[in-house]
Amino acid sequence: MKRVYNFSAGPSVLPESVLRRAAEEMLDYQGSGQSVMEMSHRSKIYEGIICSAESSLREIMNIPDNYKVLFLQGGASSQFAMVPMNLMTGSNKADFVLTGQWATKAYREAERYGTANVVASSKDKNFTYIPELDPSAFTKDADYFHICLNNTIYGTRFTTLPQTGDIPLVADVSSCILSEPVDVSKFGLLYAGAQKNMAPAGLTVVIIREDLIGRAMDFTPTMFNYQTHADNGSMFNTPPCYSIYICMLVLDWLKNTIGGLEEMKKINEKKAGILYDFLDRSSMFRGTVVPKDRSLMNIPFVTGDGELDAKFVKEAAQHDFVNLKGHRTVGGMRASIYNAMPVEGVEKLVDFMKAFEKANG
Ligand SMILES: *Cc1c(COP(=O)(O)O)cnc(C)c1O
């Protein structure tokens, strides 16, 4: 068997111990004689899985009791519509900070349902920084304020949250959920496609303050109404059963092997530090993001020479460092180093980069 170091932005690397456990349990989940893929989502045994996933997530993220956890489908991209349909129902206005492609998509979709206001944007410099926010530009009666907490494509992240007062802060946390502690009580709603840091594709997690449920626009499809899923324990219809099961295993790993989000943060800071330190010293490679806004999860870098970038990506893959090609809007390379990427993977990547620099410098 061969395992590569996988730097994919998503779907992405999962903890090896999780995959092994899933493999062991594939044909017979805990004496049930069935795979989790085969069992009824209404069975007692499956109820144990979804309840365990929810309670582990609540424990690990310290989610307050007045928040619901929803296990949905449709990806983070469906949330771009679901959030406005459910929340943009007071003044019919919302504020957006444009820090990249995903944030912009969320804004564009919300524009279809109400007045979407751009508070700030970093498009002028290809989203290589997080813009300063001027609170006087915030809409006083907005129904919510939307940010993308970690910008997967450009490799930036918010290190301080916008001060929105009573206006609910809504964040796309697809590529940073579970990477470090967050104070959930500062948000009205958090959402994440699970395929970056939680589980395989197919599962979307929404953490929503209860008072924001039950306000949806009249035409909202039943499946797009948070109330539907909150009232039915994410079991209104068939949930993404197997992804939720893997999510449960990932959360067990986070809790019992890693020791929680404070520990996870230390490991993630160590990994990112190894790569950023090298980028700052290298005479061939450089990071593309202003240092103060650098992501812990997604690290874009370039040589400045497109041909050399391509050579690097190709040779890296030959050495089992895969999926390092950067997003087409940034070029160069991007190393996504989510929770499940071991420290050793980053150390070995840097060793390879040093050797490449020596051979091609
Ligand atoms: C990957 C990603 C998305 C898109 O997620 P889907 O689940 O594919 O819809 C949205 N936002 C961010 C920040 C992402 O990283």
pLDDT of 186-223, one tens digit each?
A: 999 999 999 999 999 999 999 999 999 999 999 999 99
H helix or E strand, kind and range, residue 287: strand 286-287
Distance of CA 331 to the CA centre of its chain: 21
Which DSSP symbol is given to 259?
Answer: -
Contacts of 187 (CB under 8 A, 6+ apart): 168, 169, 170, 171, 207, 209
Share of the chain above pLDDT 70, in %: 100
Place of tokens 């206005």: 93
Q: Which of 196, 231, 257 is the last residue of a domain?
A: 257
From 98, 105, 174, the mutation candidate for ligand 1 (largest count of ligand atoms within 8 A of CB) is: 174
Among this protein's residues, is 196 annotated catalytic? Answer: yes
Which is nearest to 293 in space by CA: 153, 158, 152? 158
Among this protein's residues, is 140 annotated catalytic? Answer: no
Q: What is the pLDDT of residues 123-144, one digit of tens each?
A: 999 999 999 999 999 999 999 9
Distance (Å) from CA 298 to ligand 1 centroid: 13
Q: 217 and 279: one domain?
A: no
Residue-range definition of the domain harbouring residue 336: 5-13+260-360
Among this protein's residues, is 253 annotated catalytic? Answer: no
Q: Residue 347: which CATH number?
A: 3.90.1150.10
Ligand 1 is surrounded, with C-beta below 6 A, by: 10, 75-77, 102, 148, 152, 172, 174-175, 193, 196
Classify residue 308 as exposed, middle or buried by CB count within 10 Å of its CB (0-12, 13-18, 19+).
middle
Which is nearest to 299 in space by CA: 135, 134, 152, 106? 152
Q: 147 and 181: one domain?
A: yes
Distance (Å) from CA 76 to ligand 1 centroid: 5
Quick one: pLDDT band at residue 260, thresholds 50, 70, 90? very high
From 175, 190, 191, 327, the mutation candidate for ligand 1 (largest count of ligand atoms within 8 A of CB) is: 175
Which DSSP symbol is given to 255?
Answer: I
Place of tokens 């370039």: 302
92 to 95, 134, 217, 281: CA distances (angstroms):
11, 22, 10, 49
Sheet holding 67-72, edge to edge: 67-72, 204-209, 189-193, 169-172, 144-148, 93-98, 115-121
Q: 264 and 239: one domain?
A: no
Number of folded domains that form the chain: 2
Q: 216 and 292: one domain?
A: no
Q: 216 and 332: one domain?
A: no
Contacts of 97 (CB under 8 A, 6+ apart): 103, 118, 119, 120, 121, 131, 133, 146, 147, 148, 162
For residue 286, count other CB atoms closer than 10 A to its CB. Answer: 13
Whether 115 and 93 have beta carbons less than 8 Å apart is answered as: yes
Quick one: pLDDT band at residue 317, thresholds 50, 70, 90? very high
Q: Residue 129: which CATH number?
A: 3.40.640.10
Q: Which of 240, 257, 274 is the last residue of a domain?
A: 257
Q: 196 and 307: one domain?
A: no
Q: Which of 257, 279, 300 is the last residue of a domain?
A: 257
Residue closest by Cα to atom 14 of ligand 1:
174
Q: 59 and 80: one domain?
A: yes
Q: 315 and 244: one domain?
A: no
The structure's pTM equals 0.98
Q: 46 and 186: one domain?
A: yes
Q: What is the mean pLDDT of residues 321-327?
A: 97
Whether 188 and 170 have beta carbons less than 8 Å apart is answered as: yes
Q: 106 and 246: one domain?
A: yes
Q: What is the pLDDT of residues 263-310, one digit of tens each?
A: 999 999 999 999 999 999 999 999 999 999 999 999 999 999 999 999
Q: 118 and 241: one domain?
A: yes
Q: 251 and 264: one domain?
A: no
